[in-house]
Amino acid sequence: MFNYISKYFFTTINNFYDNCLSDNFAERTDVENKTAQTVSLFIGLAAITTAGTIYYFANQRGPKIEDPSTAHHLIQKYQKSLLAEDKRNTPVTIKAKKILKKANILTPKNEEALLVEHGAHAIIIASAMKILQDEYLLTSENRKALLVGGGANALVIAMAIKILHRAKILNENNLKFFLVDGGINARDLIGRIKPLNDSRILTQKNFAALVFHESDSMEDLVDAINLLRRKGILTQKNLEALLAAKSGEIAYQIAMGIEVLHDNHLLNQENQEALLVSGGVYAFGIALGLNSLSNALLLNEKSRKALLIGGGKHTYSIARAIKILDEAHTLTPKTLEALLVGNGKYAYRIAPSIKTLHKTHLLTQATLEALLVGNGKNAYEIARAIKT
């Protein structure tokens, strides 16, 4: 437009100037000619000023949109603005903003965080930020951690941050384990460490042990840990016993054994060590055997060792056999030794047979040795044969 106006005025002035100097005006004096030149100059300056003013105010009203691409850009920008406004005012984001406002943390940055993934997880993110704010842990780094994976796991990540902080092991290296693959494994890791935190034994060493623990059944290991936690006996020593187990199933066996000892007031160093014979595979059976002997007032160092013959595989059977002999008043060093033949595998057969022979006054060294043929597998039949 400016170019058009300028061209028009300059053309008009130029024509006027030429006419002033043409031959038709030759009879004019020099003064008249100079006056004509001065007038034309002023008219030119006025034209330039007018064109410049019009151009200036035209630009003040907004950008030119004659160019179709410019118009399209403006439309796109307006549509994006409307879309962003829509995201900020969905029912979900409105409710999320209410959570932030109630917690006095409705700031532009926090509000912007709600809009991740188009605001799909806004309420989860807002609730997570409130958890952190309650613990004075809502920092820019922690807020960023909440948004990993689009914010879907924000609550679990917030809980992880809270637990690590209370255990005084919150750092970037520990937190990153909860953020792998968008925090998809965060819930599983919390399940591992929360019982330790509840029992106040969550240390950097224990955290690393659980995070890197390779168990064929992590679920069983966690169940074992929780079993001891509920009983209030999840100690560092007990935890180490569970972690040393070769599998989650064995860990649970050990936990059940510890529970039996605890419930019967037998949880001491000697008995706990007895549980771990053979790597704890027979821990539960050993615990029942120890309790059986204890109830019969027969638990001592000698009987404890007898139970563990064969690695504790037949402990409960041996314990029952010892109890039978004691009730029949036939428990002697010799009969106890007889029960342990073949690692006590058939102790439950040998003991009743000894009792039968004792009642009929047929128990001698010879008949006792006869019962033990084949490690006592056929003790019943041999006892009946001797009796008849």
Residue 292's contacts (CB-CB under 8 Å, 6 or more residues apart) are 316, 319, 320, 323
Note whether 280 and 250 are within 8 A (CB).
Answer: yes
Q: Is residue 70 part of a domain?
A: no
Closest CA to 13 of 56, 46, 51: 46
Host domain of residue 373: 296-388
pTM (two decimals): 0.72
Instruction: Tell me which of 10, 32, 60 is where a domain ends.
Output: 60
d(CA 332, CA 235): 39
- Rounded CA separation 97/105 (Å): 9
Token pair 């001891």: residue: 228
Comparing CA positions, the residue from 152, 153, 178 lying closest to residue 165 is: 178
Q: Which residue has the tokens 């599998």?
A: 247
Which has the closest alpha carbon to 269: 244, 295, 304, 293? 304
Domain boundary among 60, 91, 107: 60
User: pLDDT digits over 247-295, tens only?
Assistant: 999 999 999 999 999 999 999 999 999 999 999 999 999 999 999 999 9
pLDDT in tens, 334-387: 999 999 999 999 999 999 999 999 999 999 999 999 999 999 999 999 999 999
- Asked whether residue 46 is assigned to any structural domain, the reply reads yes
Instruction: Tell me how many domains the chain contains.
Output: 2
Per-residue model confidence as pLDDT tens digits over 6-65: 555 556 555 555 555 544 545 555 655 566 566 666 676 776 777 667 666 656 554 544
The answer to whether position 93 is within a domain reads no
Is residue 132 included in any domain, yes or no? no
Final residue belonging to a domain, choices 18, 34, 60: 60
112 belongs to a structural domain: no
Per-residue tokens: 81: 């603005």
* Residue 384 domain flag: yes
Domain presence at residue 21: yes
- Residue 241: pLDDT band (50, 70, 90) is very high
Q: Is residue 355 part of a domain?
A: yes
Instruction: Give the helix ranges, DSSP H, for 264-346.
Output: 269-275, 283-295, 301-307, 315-327, 333-339
